[in-house]
Amino acid sequence: MAVGTNPDTQVGTEYQHLYVHVPFCTRRCSYCDFAIVVRRSVPVSEYVNAVATEFTRRDAASTCAPLTTLYFGGGTPSRLGADGVAKLMDVMRQHITLAPDAEVTLEANPEDVTVESVAAWRASGINRLSIGIQSFDDRVLRWMHRVHDAASSQRAVAIARNGGLEHFSLDLIFAVPESLERDWSRDVDMMLQLNPDHLSLYGLTVEPHTPLGRWHARGEVQESSEDRYESEFMDANRRLAAAGFEHYEVSNFAMPGHRARHNSAYWRGVPYLGIGPSAHGFDGKHRRWNVPAYAAWLSLLGRAADPVSGTELLTADNRLAEQVYLGLRTRDGLAVTEAERLHVQTWLKAGWVEWTELDKKTTIRCTPLGWLRLDALAADLTALRSRS
């Protein structure tokens, strides 16, 4: 596999994790500010050929290693269809080798999950789906500009499981505006009835350049209150723990042995390669990111130019801040010194952190209440370390 030829990119990095961005969507969701392109007809061959071109461009300075994770995100990768995903996987195999137990994840919307697509995806090497359900309330789904309905979500999970794609994650969004009168408890019930092995829960945020952002700016929509946000987050934590899930990262829950290995690599700060419009990569020292617009990415590759938009060399301060933040966002926690342990005593009393002894080191980790204050806690501890 290949490293970018940009002079700021570290030569000889060994990558075991690959992210491929597939930007196509049927419609932009009301809350979405991701790099997507809305197309009624997806230009599969054009896109796959461009991915192959970017891979070729990055073939100059790599150390090949079998991939342990491959993740197709978006956008909506399932919009490539049965044959499109198979073509994309063929391109992957021209540039990378998959480890025998590699986790290969495809993000999918329920309306794209059919008997035919599941069979083709599984045959191509996909072994895990991340299904964007978001809610089981049809009124809320329409407000979100989602294309599917609740029945489609239930049907998609059944089709995936019956087709042999038994490992899947479900996404839900909580803290939607109270005016929608969404029954969060019912959504959690329906999610648990589908028996997934992994769940991702995201609190709704208002981004300015989205339909939701415009509705909010005009006063047509009010954000959910902080109390409601906390209540729904904590309710999910309690109920999912009772069902056997481990709340292993601020937004993620897994049954034993089913943590998302690809995302966990990000949180460990290990190198990964990104391909596609807006894709990010990290070689251990530098971050790089591609241009976000699909047309610009396509045009640059067509002119034999690098679609990289920017690079950043991580400073000592950057690394310190990331170490603290990434440590606190997972259940693995962060090793602390005796002075830091004294500093966070107030956090312990407030129920925001807990600590344990690992390898003769005191490790603190956030409780669910602490995760609700993650940014503030990480900034405080980073400032303390910066002064020491």
Let me know whether 244 and 321 are in one domain: no
- Structural domain count, the chain: 2
User: Which band of pLDDT confidence, cut at 50, 70 and 90, is reported for residue 1?
Assistant: very low
Let me know whether 343 and 261 are in one domain: no
Which two three-digit tokens encode residue 246? 């481990």
Please report the sign of the dihedral spanned by the C-alpha atoms of residue 185, residue 106, residue 150, residue 180: positive
Let me know whether 239 and 338 are in one domain: no
Distances (CA, A) of 117 to 20, 40, 102: 19, 18, 21
Please determine, for residue 240, whether its predicted confidence score (pLDDT) is greater than 90.
yes
pLDDT tens sequence across 6-62: 433 444 578 899 999 999 999 999 999 999 999 989 999 999 999 999 988 875 545
Let me know whether 157 and 98 are in one domain: yes
Which of 204, 235, 268 terminates a domain? The answer is 268
Picking from 177, 167, 192, 185, the residue whose alpha carbon sits closest to that of residue 139 is: 177
pLDDT tens sequence across 319-362: 999 999 999 999 999 999 989 989 999 999 999 999 887 667 78
Quote the crossing angle between the two packed helices 150-162 and 115-124, to the nearest 10°. Answer: 50
According to the model, what pLDDT value does residue 37 have? Answer: 94
Let me know whether 323 and 256 are in one domain: no
pLDDT tens sequence across 161-181: 999 999 999 999 999 999 999
Let me know whether 103 and 173 are in one domain: yes
Say if 85 falls within a structural domain. Answer: yes
Say if 280 falls within a structural domain. Answer: no
Indicate which CATH number applies to the domain containing 243. Answer: 3.20.20.70
pLDDT tens sequence across 246-270: 999 999 999 999 999 999 999 999 9
Does residue 199 contact residue 191 with C-beta atoms inside 8 Å?
A: yes
Let me know whether 248 and 135 are in one domain: yes
Report, as an integer, the average pLDDT of 106-121. 97
Let me know whether 249 and 344 are in one domain: no
Let me know whether 166 and 103 are in one domain: yes
Please determine, for residue 4, whether its predicted confidence score (pLDDT) is greater than 60.
no
User: Which band of pLDDT confidence, cut at 50, 70 and 90, is reported for residue 243?
Assistant: very high
Which of 199, 233, 268 terminates a domain? The answer is 268
According to the model, what pLDDT value does residue 95 have? Answer: 87
According to the model, what pLDDT value does residue 9 have? Answer: 42
pLDDT tens sequence across 178-237: 999 999 999 999 999 999 999 999 999 999 999 999 999 999 999 999 999 999 999 999
Provide the domain limits for residue 365.
316-387
Picking from 25, 23, 28, 27, the residue whose alpha carbon sits closest to that of residue 209 is: 28
Let me know whether 66 and 211 are in one domain: yes
pLDDT tens sequence across 270-311: 999 999 999 999 999 999 999 999 999 999 999 999 999 999
Q: pTM for the full model?
A: 0.94
Let me know whether 235 and 375 are in one domain: no
The conformational region for residue 353 under phi > 0 = left, psi -120 to 50 = alpha, else beta, is beta
Say if 354 falls within a structural domain. Answer: yes
Say if 278 falls within a structural domain. Answer: no
According to the model, what pLDDT value does residue 63 have? Answer: 55
Let me know whether 193 and 123 are in one domain: yes
Does residue 158 contact residue 208 with C-beta atoms inside 8 Å?
A: no
According to the model, what pLDDT value does residue 58 have? Answer: 75
CA distance 218 to 214: 6
